[in-house]
Chains A and B, each alone.
Chain A
Amino acid sequence: MTQTVEVLSQWVPIALSNMIETGTSAGVVAKGAEIVVWRDSSGVAHAWEDRCPHRGMKMSFGFVRGDHITCLYHGWEYDQSGTCQYIPAHPEVEVPKSICVARYGVAEAGGLIWAQLPLGSDESSFAGLPAMEGVKSVYIDASYATVLSVLRKQGCADGAVANVMILDRDGATMTIGIQPISNAQCALHITVPKGCAGDVRESILDWSEELRRSIEELEVVT
Chain B
Amino acid sequence: MILHNYDLFENCYRVRLVASCAEVALELINVDAFPGAEEKSPEYLKLNPMGRLPILEDNALVLRNLSAILIYVAEHDIDKRFIPDEAKDRAQMMDWLGFACDDLAVAVQARAVALLDATGDVVELRAQARTLFRILDDHLTRQSLRGANFVAGDAPSLADLALFPAFALSRDFNLDHDEFPALRLWARRIRLLPGFITMPGIPDYH
Contact = CB atoms under 8 A, between A and B. Distances in A.
Report whether chain A binds chain B.
Answer: yes
Interface of A: 15-16, 19, 21, 24, 26-29, 61, 63, 65, 72, 135-137, 139, 187, 198, 201-202, 205, 209
A205 B138 CA distance: 8
Given A19-B184, A21-B185, A63-B205, A202 B142 contact: yes
B39 to A, nearest CB: 31
B188 interface: yes
Given A63-B205, A72-B203, A27 B177 contact: yes
Given A27-B178, A63-B203, A137-B181, 13 more contacts: A15-B181, A16-B181, A19-B184, A24-B184, A24-B188, A63-B205, A65-B205, A136-B182, A139-B178, A139-B179, A201-B145, A205-B145, A209-B138
Given A63-B203, A201-B145, A205-B138, A21 B188 contact: yes
Interface in B129-185: 134, 138, 141-142, 145-146, 171, 176-179, 181-182, 184-185
Interface of B: 134, 138, 141-142, 145-146, 171, 176-179, 181-182, 184-185, 188, 203, 205
Interface of B (DSSP majority class): helix
A201 B147 CA distance: 13
Nearest to A189: B181
B145 A198 contact: yes
A65 B204 CA distance: 13
A26 B177 contact: yes
A15 B177 CA distance: 13
A115 to B, nearest CB: 14
